C-alpha cells in the first residue's frame, strides 16, 4: 500500500468549526487576502472555496444572507450573474481550462455546504482532472495552493 501524506489537513480536521455563516462573516472582516476574498461588488463578492474541488474553485455570493433566488432584489441578481460571467472569463484567461462546472445548490439535500446562504460555484475543469483517486481512495488531489491561485486571479483584476 502506498501512502499519501497530507499533514497540512490536520489543522482543518482539528479546528473548531466557526458558528454562524462563513459567507456572512468573511466579507465583514478586513483581511481579504487571508480570507481569499477576490472581489467586492456593491451587492455581491467573490471568494475562493477553501475546500475546492479543483484549483480555481470560486464562489460568488451576495452580502445578504439569502436562501433562494426569489429573495434577491433585481439589482442583487443582475450583479450576481454579471460577476459570474466576469469571473468565468478571468478564470479562462488565468487557467485555460477545457470547461467549467457552474451551479447553485439550494438546501442541504441538494449539496449546499453553506446552507441558507445561496452562492454560485465556478469550477474550472480540465480533460483528465477526474481520476481514480476519489473513487478508490476517497481522496481529491488539488494541484495548486490557495495562495497561488488567489495571486494569479488577483493579477487579472
Is 135 a domain residue? yes
What average pLDDT score do residues 79-95 get?
97
Q: Which three cell numbers stand for residue 20?
A: 454562524
- Supply the range of the domain harboring residue 81: 20-155
The DSSP 8-state label assigned to residue 143 in this structure reads -
Is 128 a domain residue? yes
CATH number of the domain within which 141 lies: 3.30.428.10
Give the Cα separation of 121 and 100 in Å (integer).
Answer: 10
DSSP letter string over 30-72?
A: S-HHHHTEEEE-SSEEEEE-SS-SSTT-EEEEESS---SGGGS
Give the pLDDT score at 133.
Answer: 44
Q: Which residues are catalytic?
A: 119
pTM of the predicted model as reported, rounded to 2 decimal places: 0.81
Number of domains in the chain: 1
CB atoms closer than 10 angstroms to residue 152: 17
**Per-residue pLDDT tens digits for 15-66:** 776 788 999 999 999 999 999 999 999 999 999 998 887 889 999 999 999 9
Amino acid at each position: 500500500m502506498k501512502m499519501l501524506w497530507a499533514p497540512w489537513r490536520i489543522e482543518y480536521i482539528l479546528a473548531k468549526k466557526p458558528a454562524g455563516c462563513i459567507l456572512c462573516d468573511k466579507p465583514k472582516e478586513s483581511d481579504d487576502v487571508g480570507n481569499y476574498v477576490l472581489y467586492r461588488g456593491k451587492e455581491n463578492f467573490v471568494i475562493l472555496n477553501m475546500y475546492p474541488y479543483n484549483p480555481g474553485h470560486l464562489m460568488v455570493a451576495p452580502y445578504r444572507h439569502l436562501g433562494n433566488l426569489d429573495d434577491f432584489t433585481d439589482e442583487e441578481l443582475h450583479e450576481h450573474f454579471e460577476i459570474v460571467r466576469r469571473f468565468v472569463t478571468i478564470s479562462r484567461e488565468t487557467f485555460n481550462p477545457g470547461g467549467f462546472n457552474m451551479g447553485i445548490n439550494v438546501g442541504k439535500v441538494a449539496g449546499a455546504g453553506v446552507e441558507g446562504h445561496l452562492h454560485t460555484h465556478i469550477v474550472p475543469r480540465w480533460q483528465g482532472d477526474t481520476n481514480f483517486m476519489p473513487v478508490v481512495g476517497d481522496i481529491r488531489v488539488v494541484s495548486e495552493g490557495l495562495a497561488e491561485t488567489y495571486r494569479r486571479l488577483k493579477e487579472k483584476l
